[in-house]
Structure 1
Amino acid sequence: MVDAVVSFVIQKLGDYIIQEAVFLREVRDEVQLLKNELEWMQCFIKDAEEKQVEDVMIRKWVSDIREIAYDTEDVLDKFMLKIDKEKTLSQKQSDLFTSIRKNFCIFYIGKKIHLYGIGKEIESLQKRITDLSRKREFYRLEDIGNRREGKSKNLERLKDLRRVTSFALDENIVGLEDDAKMLLGKLLQDEPRRLVVSIFGMGGLGKTTLAKKLYHNIDVLNKFKFRAWVSVSQDYKTEDLLRRIIKSFEIKINGMELEKMTGEDLERCLYKSLQGCSYLAVIDDVWQREAWESLKRAFPDDNSGSRVIITTRIKAVAERSDERIYVHKLRFLRPDESWKLFCEKVFRKSDVNKELGKLGREMVEKCRGLPLAVVVLGGLLSTKKPREWQAVRDHIWQHLRNDSIHISYLLTLSFNDLSYQLKLCFLYLGIFQEDSEFFIEKAIRLLVAEGFIREADDRVMEEVAKGNVDELINRSLIQIESIHRGRVETCRIHDLLRDLAIQKAKEVNFIDIYDGIHHPTCSPTPSASRRLVFYPKASFWFPHCNFLSRSLLLYHRDKNSFHEISIAVCTRLRLLRVLYVENYGGSVQLYSLPEEIGQLVHLKYLTIRITKISNLPSSIVNLRRLQTLDLYTHYRSLELPNGIGELQELRHLIGKFGGPLPIDSLTNLQTLKFISYEKWIKVHPEKLVNLRELHIHHYDAERREAFIFDSIAKLKNIRILSVELSSVHSFTSLQPLSHCPRLQDMTLDGKIEELLPDMYTILPNLESLSLRNSNLEEDPMPKLEKLPNLVSLELLVNSYHGKKMVCSKMGFSQLDNLDILELDELEEWRVEEGAMPMLKNLEIKPGNSKLRIPERLMSMAAPNSRYLTRCYFPFVF
């Protein structure tokens, strides 16, 4: 993990050299040299980290490198803090001529002093690095790992254990019956061409167990002449895999000759032996696409009905392994399946003790359907006395890790396979609470503010961050929790993986999390971690924090008033980049942020969600690096200060805003929500060249003019548009939106009769549409189904007042998500064969219980059907 920390600091050093060149010019060479030295040290870190478990000296060496990296970041951040302070002082001089003279002296002399100071500190850091380099050579640390092979032998033992157990059939298999039945059909179907079946999902989910069940099936034994099983893992050699496959197929070759064969000879031998025969090969635990690519030449595809099963944690490997492939995403166990599996491991056939059953269910629920966790938990508790169960429940993940080397090994494999950027992102997601989901948008903005993301190619940082989150999803390290309007809205990190993230983050002083239960809430010394998170049950105590804290997140506070600590936070934690405060209790008497907030000049992310705040101090304009300002509340309108336009780095502005909107100069603004139509029409939208998401609300029911899209047409980069009108307002022509080719997501709350006829010609790229209070009398489906790229459609309350709705044969060719909610008059809905061929998510909550659901949809939504992955018919199921 230290490699990720050092890489992050090296990246920051490069940014400072470029962005702060004016202030660093006299020490620029020293900073560049320090960056170069750290880059050289980084070359040895990854190898050293792999060896540090087995050697105290290497562990100390790696720890010292980490501290140098952190200290380097601190030196530069504190220097920039002083520079900002001097600039602020110079701007306050009143007399022009005196100001010029004094400013020059103050700024020049002050800068010289600070440059001398930073030069000395950088020199000290360089000496420390030189000393570490000398120690590495003197103690021959690079040779230690070669002499001590304990860890590598341990890993090999684990790999061997996995290989051996791959051939043994587990007797107790719970929750995989439907998956096994469906995949068995794929293996046995009468299709002569070779088919690859990919099974993917999180580590410990049962991919190998499912593959074993198929491998040992009696019908499979009878169908395939040859069967072979090989485990790949992260480190593999193609020639070694080919030899093991040949042995597993029981192809008879002299052992000595097999070892001498080249890769080409092995391929030729395997190909000739399998030619004209039906075979089943299981390629288990694949991490790279290249693994199967390097093997497939040796497997003939000669219409013999052969099959290959690949198991992997990575979606890209599963989906792109072959031209003819069937991908099966393995699900988590349902609560009843988890409990059954647990009982088989713990109670077997005996009756369940009531008290132990209650504790057991609590712990099984925490496993969240992960079979490996349930099995290990069951095995652990089966050896515990009843009085010890409580202790296991209170520290469940610690007990599971200690009891099973499999869990730590399996989960750490996934972490170690990540790039340093993905490691930082994964660890950071540990800030979100246990047993809770988190919003993707929030995670993305935090990752950007923390500095973990850099712009790449033509993508803005938010798109890069979204790509990183998607990659963690595809690697089965986080799970999608909810999809809204065709887009992933919330995710969840399994508690076992979250515990891994917290553990590794704490090891390198990356994050400290205080929850009042599993983690300490009192300490005589400040936390050494750069990021501090306090959950509801943990008391916020200022000595936890130190001057070097970069992030402070306070969740759902119900003790103390934010007013009591806000000034202290703003004056003492001057290096903060992230300040997040959510849902303080009713005792909060805070109507404005303190004037001292302007001292947090490094701040990039500010979220204060307290219901009574209604105005901002003028000092907010000092936060020149601010990217996200989120002060949303349902209850009060917030007025922005006139100088808000000076925050040129602002990218996301969120709140219920009243008063003037002096935002014309915010050219980096990407998100603006929520504002009234009356305020919006006074803005000059043509200057908001990067605005991507806009939410408008029409609060004035007295004004009867229709909403026109002319101002929206000036937003060339708009992607998401939400316009909520009062019931007396309507929309005019969509024609101006023809100038918004990137518009993908639109919410319209109001009368839209005039819009429907031209929607599919004006908005061909629209992917998501939500309608509410449209009051349509004519069936909208014949027009909406023509939208060629529509993925998500919501017909909400009062959007349609007719009794009948028809989806025609070729309609909605790309629709994935459909929600029909509270259409009171709807009685008949006809869906012709061939309509909505891509539908996966369907929710129907009709206001009229007479509505008849089409039989085709009913069959697709049946419990054993794999067509619809999410469906809800409240009056049917």
Structure 2
Amino acid sequence: MVDAVVSYVVHKLGDYIIQEAVFLRDVRDEVQLLKNELEWMQCFIKDAEEKQVEDAMIRKWVSDIRDIAYDTEDVLDNFMLKIDHGKTPSRDRPALFALIRKYSCLFDIGKMKDLYGIGKEIESVQKRIIDLSRKRELYRLEDIGNRREGKSNNLERLIDLRRATSFVVDENIVGFEDDAKMLLGKLLEGEPRRFVVSIFGMGGLGKTTLAKKLYHNIDVLNKFNLRAWVYVSQDYQTQDLLRRIIKSFEIKINGVELEKMSEEDLERYLYKSLQGRSYLAVIDDVWQKEAWESLKRAFPDGNNGSRVIITTRIKEVAERSDERIHVHKLRFLRPDESWNLFCEKSFRKSNANEELEKLGREMVEKCGGLPLAIIVLGGLLSTKKPQEWRSVRDHIWQHLRNDSIHIPSLLTLSFNDLPYQLKLCFLYLGVFPEDFEFFIEKAIRLLVAEGFIREDDDRVMEEVAKNNLDELINRSLIQIENICRGRVETCRIHDLLRDLAIQKAKELNFFHIYDGIHHPTCSPTPTSSARRLVFYSETSSSFQHCNSLSRSLLLYDRDQDSFRQTSTAIFTRLRLLRVLHVENYGGYINCHRLPKEIGQLVHLKYLTVRISFIRNLPPSIVNLRKLQTLDLYSRRWLLKLPIGIGKLQELRHLIGTFEGPLPIDNLTNLQTLKFVSYESWSKVHPDKLVNLRELHINHFHTQEQEQEPFIFDSIAKLKNIRILSVELSGVHSFSSLQPLSHCPRLQDLTLGGKIEELPADMHTMLPNLECLSLSNSNLQDDPMPKLEKLPNLVSLELRFHSYHGKKMICREKGFSQLESLEILDLYEWEEWQVEKGAMPMLKNLEINPKNSELRIPERLISIPAPTRRYSTARTRF
């Protein structure tokens, strides 16, 4: 874990050397040397962390490295804070060349070092690194770990336990009946070629349990001549796996010494032994797709109906294991299944009284349908007296961790397998409240602002962050909650994994949580160097007593008095803040203005304040030159931007309900702009908005105003636009859609307003369009013949008077990629013809035609409606 922190600081030092070269010019060599020293220390960290569990001396050494990394960051951040304070004496900053000239005249390098002390501070940090290196050699820390290699640790014991119980059958498996029945059919079906069944899902979900149920099924026993089970794990050796598979198959070994055979000989021996026979092999707990690749040459692909079952936590491993494969994502238990499993483990044959049942159901709900957690909880409570149940309920995760080696070890396996960039991303998701459904886009903006994301040659940081979150989804570390318009919109982290993130973060001083119940507040004399502070509930805590070195402050559930009392303290005390997130997810904070002191947070990159009644921003907001995200969204009030907002050259995401002038012409890094009126947008010169990817426009007219059509000419200048939403009011209309042909990257289009006619060449105009939503379009001609040709359309919504005709026809081979279709509130629609072969990929269908006589084609009746909590793209922020 410390390797992730050190890597993060090393990258930040590199950024400082490049971006702040003017002010670091005479200590640049010292900073570069410090960066090199930390990079050198990284060579030893990973190995040390693997050995620190059982050695206090190594734990102390690793902890000291963490502190040095943090202190290095503090030295540079404080230095730049003083520099920035010196160069901003008034509201208007001088130009950069004037600053350089000013400092060149006033200070020589010696005085600069004396004034800010950076030279001595860097020297002090370097001495600490040298001292750590000396201690590593003096106490021979590497040898300590090596001498203890023979000592079994928790992870090794867990692996041995899993291997030993692979063949143990649980007669009372709850919740896998439907899964087992379906997968059993795949194993027994008549396909003669070798076939792979992949089962994937979160650790503790029951993949191995389900595989065991299949492995020991009587029909499986009768079908397959040979069966084998091998547990793989993260650190596998192909030769060892082959030897264990041969032994598990119980293949007769006539004078052959397996231990002396090479990998190639083992492959050949296994292949020859299986040839012409029907076999079933279970490859359990696979972490890399290369594992099966390295084995499958030894498994004959004949016509004997042989099968392989692979269990894994990683989606990519499951999907890419073989050419002929069935992938099964294992679900979480339903509430009734969870309760039945819990009762079986906790009450045995006795009955629960009303109070115990209430407490039990509360705890089972906390387990979130994870079988392992429910089983451990039930076993724990079966040994507890009734009066002890409440204590377990109040500290459920602590009790489960202490009672079972399985839970912490199984989940830690997933964490340890992550590269350092993903470790930071996963840990950071622990800042979201328990059971919180977070928006992917919000998480992306936070991760970028925190500095965890590195921009590469081909992708912007937001795309890299999205890929990181997708990887966490694929590794079953976060769960998809809602998919909107073909894209993942919201996710959730299981409480057990969130608890793991909190525990790891505590060890790193990565963040500190106060929820008023389970976690202590900041002390008047803080000793913690936690970089991030998270408050979930109202407190009387005074922020001036919190650690002034904190980089992030996330406040949830603020009321108006709390925010007013603490805001000035935040802005004057926590001067190194990069992230400030204030949100009341139960409502809105009644606050009329942001304090002018906010302009002192010159390091701030992310500012979200979801409060109502703010109409204006203080002029000091333009001091936040590093700001990337400014989110002041409110459904209740329109917000005016200050004239100087164009000075925020780093701004990437501007979110609110804005009125009046939009002085954003020079914001060349702007990627997101929502929500603005058409009147305001029409006065913007978009030529310089070369990076704008998402734009939401609302058009509000009074009846007295002239009703002019919306013209897309300005949109046509946005060459990088991906998501466009234009919502007109009343009967207002769009002009020709033809200018959109100049937006080749457009993927998501929402149009609310009258359209005279869809272009006949829409499929060539918008070849990359994936999501389309039309409402109030008043189309007279059937839109399907034109829309079905869109080659990449995944999601289509026709809403609220989008079509006034009576008949729609979807032709053969039309909508070849469409997965989600919603047709709502079409009053005149009477007939729908869907030819065979149309919409072959359709997974979700929702129809509300306002005509009870409309007949839905029979083959589409069983397709489910999309499961969602948010119905339109307008909620995606």
TM-score interval, normalised by the smaller of the two chains = over 0.9
3-state SS of the aligned residue for 1:513? strand
The aligned runs of 1:736-751 (5 Å cut-off) are 736-751=739-754
Deviation per CA, 1:654-680: give whole Å up to 9, x if none. 111112111110000000111111111
CA contact under 8 A between 2:733 and 2:753: conserved in structure 1?
yes
With 603-612 and 538-547 compared, the bigger mean Cα shift is at 538-547
The answer as to whether partners of 1:51 and 1:151 remain within 8 angstroms in 2 is: no
Given that 1:558 and 1:585 are in contact with CA atoms closer than 8 Å, whether structure 2 keeps it comes out as: no
Matched with 2:647 is 646
| Counterpart residue number, 1:655 | 656
Q: State the alpha-carbon separation in 1 of the partners of residues 589 and 326 from structure 2.
A: 56
Partner of 2:618: 617
More deviation, 153-162/613-622: 153-162
Which of 695, 706, 709 is residue 706 of structure 1 equivalent to? 709
Q: Tell me if structure 2 keeps the 8 A contact 1:530–1:548.
A: yes
* Aligned pairs for 1:152-551 within 5 A: 152-253=152-253, 257-521=257-521, 523-526=523-526, 527-543=528-544, 545-551=546-552
Deviation (angstroms), 1:390: 0.7
CA deviations on 1:344-371 (whole Å, 9 max, x unpaired) are 1122343332211111111111111111
| CA shift in 2, pair 1:421/1:597, >3 Å | same
Q: Distance in 2 between matches of 1:72 and 1:559?
A: 37
Secondary structure of the structure 2 residue equivalent to 1:300: coil
Structure-2 change in CA distance of 1:566 and 1:107 (3 Å): farther
Query: Equivalent residue of 2:23, what SS?
Result: helix
Q: How many Å apart are 1:833 and its aligned residue?
A: 2.9
1:27 touches 1:115 (CA, 8 Å); kept in 2?
A: no
TM-score (norm 2): 0.95
SS in 1 for 2:22: helix
Please list every run of 5 or more consecutive structure 1 residues that lacks an aligned counterpart in the other structure: 862-867, 873-877
Please tell me whether the aligned partners of residues 54 and 150 of structure 1 are also in contact (alpha carbons under 8 angstroms): no
CA–CA distance in structure 1, aligned partners of residues 198 and 455 of structure 2:
33
SS state of the match for residue 356, structure 1?
A: helix
**Cα pair 2:589 2:610 within 8 Å, conserved:** no
State the Cα deviation string for residues 259-296 of structure 1 (Å, max 9, x = none): 11111111110010011111111100000011111111
Secondary structure of the 1:477 match is: coil
- Hey, what's the Cα distance between the residues in 1 that align with 2:586 and 2:164? 56
1:31: Cα distance to partner?
A: 0.9
Tell me the secondary structure at the aligned position of residue 332 of structure 1: coil
Q: In 2 relative to 1, CA 377–100 (structure 1 residues): closer, same or farther, beyond 3 Å? A: closer
Q: List per-residue Cα deviations over 1:508-546 (Å, max 9, x = no partner).
A: 100011111221235333342110111125454315522
What corresponds to 2:696 in structure 1?
Answer: 695
Contact 2:113 2:119 in 1 (8 A): no
In structure 1, distance between residues paired with 2:592 and 2:382: 56
- Among 719, 732, 738, the alignment partner of 1:729 is 732
Q: Give the C-alpha shift of residue 744 in structure 1.
A: 0.5
Distance 2:21 2:868 in 1: 56
1:127-181 alpha-carbon deviations (Å, 9 max, x no partner): 0011111111111111111122476444322111101211111112112111111
Alignment partner, residue 583 of structure 1: 584
Mapped partners of 1:194, 1:32: distance in 2? 57
Cα distance in 1 between the residues matched to 2:828 and 2:248: 65
CA–CA separation in structure 1 for the residues paired with 2:587 and 2:326: 54
Match of 2:776 in 1: 773
Equivalent position of 1:796 in the other structure: 799
Which amino acid is 1:404 matched to?
A: S
SS of equivalent to 2:837: coil
Q: Give the letter aligned to residue 427 of structure 1.
A: L
Provide structure 2 residue ranges, at least 5 long, that are not aligned to the other structure.
870-877
* SS of corresponding position for 2:823: strand
Question: Which of 839, 842, 846 in structure 2 is aligned with 1:843?
Answer: 846
**Structure 1 residue 116: deviation in Å?**
6.4
Paired residue secondary structure (1:560) = helix
Q: Do 1:198 and 1:328's aligned partners in 2 also have CA atoms closer than 8 Å?
A: yes
Structure 2 CA distance for partners of 1:352 and 1:821, relative to 1, 3 Å: farther
What is the distance in 1 between the residues matched to 2:347 and 2:797?
48
- Aligned mates of 1:202, 1:369 — CA distance in 2: 11
Deviations 1:472-510 (A, max 9, x none): 000000010000000100000000000000110011100
- Greater than 6 Å deviation, 4+ residue runs: 90-94, 98-103, 584-587
Q: Contact between 1:525 and 1:543, CA under 8 Å: does it hold in 2?
A: no
> Residue type of the partner of 1:65?
I
Contact kept, 8 Å, 2:154 with 2:405, in 1: the verdict is: no
Contact kept, 8 Å, 1:725 with 1:749, in 2: the verdict is yes
For the Cα contact (< 8 Å) 2:727–2:753, is it kept in 1? Answer: yes
Distance 2:586 2:261 in 1: 72
- Count of aligned pairs: 866
Residue 99 of structure 1: how far off its partner (Å): 10
Give the conservation status (yes or no) of the 8 Å contact 1:557–1:585: no
Letter in 1 for 2:797: E
CA distance in 2, matches of 1:751, 1:110: 69
Q: How do residues 1-12 of structure 1 correspond to structure 2 at under 5 angstroms?
A: 1-12=1-12
Query: Using a 3 Å threshold, how does the CA distance of structure 1 residues 166 and 586 change in structure 2: closer, same or farther?
Result: closer
2: CA distance, partners of 1:314 / 1:371: 18
Moved more, 436-445 or 544-553: 544-553
The farther-off stretch of 852-861 and 704-713 is 852-861
The CA RMSD measured in Å over matched residues stands at 2.4
Q: CA deviation at 1:255?
A: 7.6
State how far apart, in whole Å, the 2-side matches of 1:464 and 1:660 are: 33
Give me the whole-angstrom Cα distance separating, in 1, the residues matched to 2:718 and 2:343. Answer: 59
Q: Which moved more, 1:102-111 or 1:117-126?
A: 102-111
Higher mean C-alpha displacement, 734-743 vs 445-454: 734-743
Q: 1:718 to 1:99 in 2, by over 3 A?
A: closer
1-structure distance, mates of 2:588, 2:417: 47
Contact 1:829 1:854 in 2 (8 A): yes
- Equivalent in 811, 816, 832 of residue 814 of structure 2: 811
Alignment check: 8 A CA contact 1:672 1:695 kept: yes
Displacement, 1:114?
Answer: 5.3
> After alignment, is 360-369 or 563-572 more displaced?
563-572
2:756 equivalent in structure 1: 753
Cα distance in 1 between the residues matched to 2:374 and 2:425: 27
Shift of 1:106: 4.1
| CA displacement, residues 41-74 of structure 1 (integer Å, 9 cap, x when unaligned) | 1111111111111111111111111000000000
Contact preservation (8 Å) 1:10, 1:38: yes
Letter in 2 for 1:294: S
Give the Cα–Cα distance (whole angstroms) in 1 for the partners of residues 109 and 265 of structure 2: 75
| C-alpha contact 1:732 1:755 (8 A) present in aligned 2 | no
Task: Read off the aligned partner of 1:696 and give its amino acid letter.
Answer: I
Secondary structure of the corresponding residue to residue 565 of structure 1: helix
The 1:191/1:426 distance shift into structure 2, 3 A limit, reads: same
Aligned to 1:574: 575
1:41 aligns with 2:41: yes
